[in-house]
A and B are shown apart, each in its own frame.
Chain A
Amino acid sequence: MPIKLDSLSHTYQEGSPFQATALHDVDLTIEDHDLLALIGHTGSGKSTLAQHLNGLLKPTSGRVLLDGQDINDKSTDRRALRFAVGLVFQYPEHQLFEETVRKDIGFGPRNMGLEEGEIDARVREAMDKTGLPYDEIAEKSPFELSGGQMRRVALAGVLAMRPRILVLDEPTAGLDPRARDFLLEDIRRLHKGGTSVVMISHSMDDVASLATRVAVLEKGRLVMQGSPGEIFSRVEELGRMGLDVPQASKLRHLLFDAGIELPECYRLEELADSLADYLKGGAEHAG
């Protein structure tokens, strides 16, 4: 179920003195099985773009096509669309509200009009996918849980609607390193299980560890897209946009400037391999 953005533009408060164009003519396709990272400076239009993917915002011009169908067309079943594209906002745990974890995760499926038995099955499935122990916490208040667990309950609430495409806005912000690793692992597993994922992130190391493709927004325009390797090799261009690169890319770039040339890589493990080779066989390479 690919999503295609076709010359998508969005202007906030059009016709008012506060008119601001957030997206200009964006053409982007999210293919099945993509794990697309959307990166860009604050205010570059990432969150605006994300909110078009399930129809929360309507384009000022251009179209959003899901499986070839315009999602803003009057004939489109918008309820079905919301279930097909699950959107997880920044700090989603701020939106938890039910008395128990089970009820909170079941809220979406209940809204879909499913039977109690099916709701319970979906809650169990979503908790399983996010590594939350049902027997231990299903009847607890979500507010008794740790920050990392609350974040996963919020994610499970979206997964319980069995979206085909999952859109995550800064999923690891504010989490401690362990909770971040767990959440990244959940996302990796969901993606392997066949869910397409769009992830907005400021953490280039998270992007390097997960993404299959990277799209870069600057001032509302799509300025680059490609594999993580292609994107992160453009260290200087990204720097001019105020963007970071993964730590491995940064070091590789520093080494290159110092006359030490290593093969293209953007993950620490890969860099460790090539750097170890270089240093061990160093005599003949060292200049």
Chain B
Amino acid sequence: MNQAHISLQNLCYAYEEGAPLAVDSVSLDIRRGEFVALLGHNGSGKSTIAKLLNGLYTPTSGKVLVSGMDTADDRNTWEIRKRCGMVFQNPDNQIVATVVREDVAFGLENLGVPSERMPRLIDDALRAVNMLEFADRAPHLLSGGQKQRIAIAGILAMQPEAIVLDEATAMLDPSGRQEVLETALRLNRERGVTVVWITHFMEEAARASRVAVMYKGSLVMDGSPREIFSQVEKIRRFRLDVPPMTRLSAMLRERGVGLRADILTAEEMLEEVRALAHKA
């Protein structure tokens, strides 16, 4: 099937009639199984796009198609929400039940899934985020990273084809961030779930298969992490930065060391330095 999984077609959105466009003429096709990092300064339109992807907002003009279904058509709303789940920034605003298992069941109940089918779906979802042993615990006693994994499990139980995570790691500590990112990467790799990962952390974006950059409502860059982050000056003009190791590689080149411009991680930097040391 050649069809895009999620297709934004000349998408525009204004919060009020006559207000400036928060999203301005964005066209983007996301293929099934991609892991797309969506970057942009505060107020660039990233979160607005996230809410347009599963019909929480409907376009002012242009279209969003999820598996070919138009989000502006009310008849598609439930089907789209089931197929395209969302995880938000604040873990404490997303927990609805007093027991983890019941929290994960919430979405299934809303979809009218027969109760005899639920335990398997819930266990499977909790296992997928490595939280099965917490099934009977109280969610408010878990860490931020664990709460976000419960939120992901709640979506997974509905067997979605896509997950949109809107700064899901912003309020977490480094180990919590790591847990949530690894969980999303694994679901993408092992289950083929399409992931849209919105973040301000450039080193997280470096792990994506594709990076899209928003600036003042418009889509201004789109490519692989290596293509995007090797353009240090350009990405800074859009009020963003490059991952720390890419920055270091730029500093080294300024100091006359000839090494690759598209280094993303400390491990790649180590390899590059070893290779250069051998040549010297």
Contact = CB atoms under 8 A, between A and B. Distances in A.
Interface residues of B, number: 41
B173 A176 contact: no
Interface of A: 41-43, 146-148, 173-180, 202, 204-205, 242-244, 247-248, 250-251, 254-255, 258, 260, 268-269, 271-273, 275-276, 278-280, 282-283, 285-286
A242 B174 CA distance: 8
B173 A202 contact: yes
Nearest to A90: B171
Interface of B: 40-44, 89, 143-144, 167, 170-176, 200, 202, 239-241, 244-245, 247-248, 251-252, 254-257, 266-267, 269-270, 273-274, 276-278, 280
A255 B144 CA distance: 33
Contacts of B200: 174-177, 180
Nearest to A203: B174
The A interface is mostly helix, strand or loop, or mixed, namely helix
B143 A177 contact: no
Contacts, number: 112
Nearest to B145: A42
B270 A251 contact: yes
Nearest to A277: B255
B103 to A, nearest CB: 20
Given A148-B42, A176-B240, A177-B239, A276 B274 contact: no
B174 A244 contact: yes
Contacts of B251: 268-269, 272
A159 B277 CA distance: 50
B46 to A, nearest CB: 10
Contacts of A269: 251
A223 to B, nearest CB: 17
Contacts of B144: 42
A268 B244 contact: yes
B171 A173 contact: yes
Given A43-B143, A243-B174, 15 more contacts: A146-B41, A174-B200, A177-B241, A179-B42, A242-B175, A244-B174, A254-B266, A255-B270, A272-B254, A273-B255, A275-B257, A276-B255, A276-B256, A279-B252, A279-B276
